[in-house]
Amino acid sequence: MYLHRPESEPERRTSPLALRISILSGLAIAIFAVLFFRLWYVQVLSGDKYLTQANDNRVREIRVQAPRGDILDRDGKVLVANRTELAVQVRPEDLPPPGPQRRAELNRLSTVTGMTRPEITKALEDGDRAAPGGPVILKKGLGVDKVYYLRENQSSFPGVTVERVFTREYRQGTIAAHLFGNVGEVTAEQLREPRYTGLRQGDAVGQSGIEYEYDRFLRGKPGTDRVQVDALGRPTGQLRSKPAEAGDNVRLTIDADLQSYAEGALASFGLPGGFVAMNAQDGEILAMGSSPTFDPSIFTRPITQRRYRSLTSDETDAPLANRAIQGLYPTGSVFKMITGTAALEDKLISPDTIFNDTGQLKVDIQTLRNAGKAVYGPINMSDAFKVSSDIYFFSLGLKAKASKGHGQIQDWARKYGLGERTGIDLPAEVEGLIPTPAWRNQLYKEGLTDRPWSAGDNINLAVGQGDLQADPLQMAVAYAALGNGGKVLRPHVAEQVESVTGKVLEEIRPAPRRQIQISDRTRSTIMSGLARAAMENGGTSYPIFGNFPFPVAGKTGTAERGVQPDQSWYVVLAPADNPQIVVAVTLERGGFGVDTAAPIAARMLEQYFNLPITPPEADAIRPGGVAE
């Protein structure tokens, strides 16, 4: 039945309040639905994921550094190894938040470690880490009593632990310090280099010396530890770990006994200098040193800027400088071997040509003289080497051609290896300088010198003076080339890489850089003159080597160095008839070569050939010729 609403009944209308309630209810239902579905997603669909993340908050993965390989001498004697020591380590994220509690803990740490609070703060900000992502090493070498104190009061030191860490140990003290180098945390710049691919910030790498050159073998492979920790970051259990693999050992060509003896002989004069003893046939470095030296263990601890400046300052003779491969010196008369080669090979003079040494040579308005104003009269080249006639070699310098970037003496100096790096397996080697007309004229053009090239420059070069710059290793390589028949060797300090069990993994046998052509006549003439200089009465080093048990071929040098006292040089090949070893020695402010450098070289040969060691005072009473 259809019912009509009475005309008089009013129409129903929805009130505004009811509408609002409906809208809010709908929104509440929608929000509840979103939250419900989100909770369902988190609990049901992603439960495992978040459970894993929650567990990870209680688990730390720490990269474990590998112990570095040992460095051995040629006979297997350990020169550099590792030792473990206790270190205070701090994980900054586990310290109390900045405020009174953190300050109080750092004050307590200051009392235990002996460091000031600012020093601790700085170390936490940019100090060495035990491993990438690991704690900061705050202090090494902690005493046992302090270790017990920290462990007994662990609750007062959240984020602080005491662990054993590896530290380089130098078994021979300061011996060969310049060769070994040091280890430090890899830098951000280094991480961009291909040689450090796979490393992370915090990894320890070699930063200089052998440690740097053979770092890829020495550093080993790091491992990882997964450790469960409590709310304070303290380890509560070991989950699993991947052990680190120790680095390989590097065996050097160095003879530790010769190295030690040579450094002692050099240091006995108390003057800056350097020496090299090298196998003249294959380039093995038997000993290499520089004075003053330093204690390499200083780099196992943070080093202050003041301490570092003292190691590099001219006021302390820069102990960090390795003068054997970084010395930039005029060589004096030891360079005459190169001038003699150029004169004979380029037919400026013959071995038997007689030259009348009147004791002086006039060049323009200047008169040049021999050392000690000596006059030698008629001499040939062998005689000139024996007595080290400056006038003879001045005349060769005047006669030799020198034009543009070349020159007869300059070209032979380059052939022998001067003016370039020898390629030794040590970083930071310098090139030195062979002065040429083009080089000096360019400096003059740029206003960096007061004159262009002149004949006097070539005269100076002929006797190893002027702008020439060379170091003991370069001179050792040059003399070795004369002694071995023309092989310009690539010297090397490392002999082989070995596993921890002693298995040879890699042999280091670098080929010679080149072979230079020296006629037998040239070689025999110069070698004869050098042998006479050492073994014949009147020779420049006869006071030192006159009674040596077998012939050697050696040359003294006395180089002028501006306002400084003369520099002493000596280079010797032994035995003279078949050289097996070459020794080059130089001392700054050492005076005549026969007075300081030659005695050191003699003691080194006596040690190497296992001969009776000559007392130092005996050198002073031997008969001799003109000092040089």
Could you read off the pLDDT of 66-84 as tens digits, one per residue? 899 999 999 999 999 998 8
CATH 3.90.1310.10, applies to 60-252: yes
Stretch 428-438: mean pLDDT: 96
590, 601 contact by CB (below 8 A): no
570 has a pLDDT exceeding 70: yes
50 has a pLDDT exceeding 60: no
Confidence at residue 109, expressed as pLDDT on a 0 to 100 scale? 86
Most confident of 49-63, 165-179, 226-240: 165-179
**Pairing between strand 494-498 and 249-252?**
antiparallel
Of residues 332 and 615, more confidence is placed in: 332
Of residues 447 and 86, more confidence is placed in: 447
Cβ-based burial of 185 (10 A; exposed 0-12, middle 13-18, buried ≥19):
middle
Confidence at residue 624, expressed as pLDDT on a 0 to 100 scale? 43
> 237: pLDDT confidence band, cut at 50, 70 and 90?
low
With vertex at residue 41, the alpha carbon angle to CA 39 and CA 43, rounded to the nearest 5 degrees, is: 65
Confidence at residue 54, expressed as pLDDT on a 0 to 100 scale? 47
Confidence at residue 628, expressed as pLDDT on a 0 to 100 scale? 73
Radius of gyration of the chain (CA): 37
Q: Taking the mean position of all CA atoms in its chain, how far away is CA 619?
A: 35
> 119: pLDDT confidence band, cut at 50, 70 and 90?
confident
**Among candidates 466, 450, 430, 460, which has minimal Cα distance to 561?**
466
* Peptide bond between residue 16 and the one before it cis (omega within 30 degrees of 0): no
Kindly report, as residue ranges, where domains of CATH 3.40.710.10 are found in the chain. Answer: 256-298+323-621
Buried b (16+ CB within 10 A) or exposed e, 6-36: eeeeeeeeeeeeeeeeeeeeeeeeeeeeeee
Kindly report, as residue ranges, where domains of CATH 3.90.1310.10 are found in the chain. Answer: 60-252
Cβ-based burial of 467 (10 A; exposed 0-12, middle 13-18, buried ≥19):
middle
**Among candidates 226, 60, 93, which has minimal Cα distance to 159?**
93
Dihedral angle over CA of 277, 280, 286, 292, nearest 10: 20
Stretch 427-456: mean pLDDT: 95
DSSP 284-312: BEEEEEEES---GGGGGS---HHHHHHHH
Six-digit token string for 262: 């040579």
Could you read off the pLDDT of 541-563 as tens digits, one per residue? 999 999 999 999 999 999 999 88
592 has a pLDDT exceeding 80: yes
> 618: pLDDT confidence band, cut at 50, 70 and 90?
low
538 has a pLDDT exceeding 90: yes
Phi-psi region of 300 (alpha: psi -120 to 50; beta: other; left: phi over 0): alpha
**Pairing between strand 71-72 and 249-252?**
parallel
Q: Could you tell me which residues come within 8 angstroms of residue 327 by beta carbon, excluding any fewer than 6 positions away?
A: 274, 321, 430, 470, 471, 472, 586
Q: Is the dihedral of CA 610, 615, 621, 625 positive or negative?
A: positive
Confidence at residue 235, expressed as pLDDT on a 0 to 100 scale? 57
Cβ-based burial of 147 (10 A; exposed 0-12, middle 13-18, buried ≥19):
middle
96 has a pLDDT exceeding 90: no
Could you count the other beta carbons within 10 Å of the beta carbon of residue 164? 10
Confidence at residue 2, expressed as pLDDT on a 0 to 100 scale? 45
CATH 1.20.1250.20, applies to 256-298+323-621: no
User: What does the alpha-carbon distance between residue 385 and residue 528 come to, in Å, rounded to a whole number?
Assistant: 9
Calculate the average pLDDT of the chain.
87
494, 210 contact by CB (below 8 A): yes
Could you read off the pLDDT of 407-421 as tens digits, one per residue? 999 999 999 999 999
Helix (H, G, I), strand (E, B) or coil at 149: helix
Confidence at residue 3, expressed as pLDDT on a 0 to 100 scale? 45
Q: Could you tell me which residues come within 8 angstroms of residue 158 by beta carbon, excluding any fewer than 6 positions away?
A: 94, 95, 96, 105, 232, 233, 234
User: What does the alpha-carbon distance between residue 401 and residue 8 come to, in Å, rounded to a whole number?
Assistant: 136
Most confident of 117-126, 556-565, 615-624: 556-565
SS3 content of the chain, % helix, strand, coil (to 5): 40, 20, 40
Confidence at residue 101, expressed as pLDDT on a 0 to 100 scale? 84
Cα separation values, 554 from 334, 603, 605, Å: 9, 14, 12
**Among candidates 316, 390, 449, which has minimal Cα distance to 628?**
390
* Amino acid found at 620: A
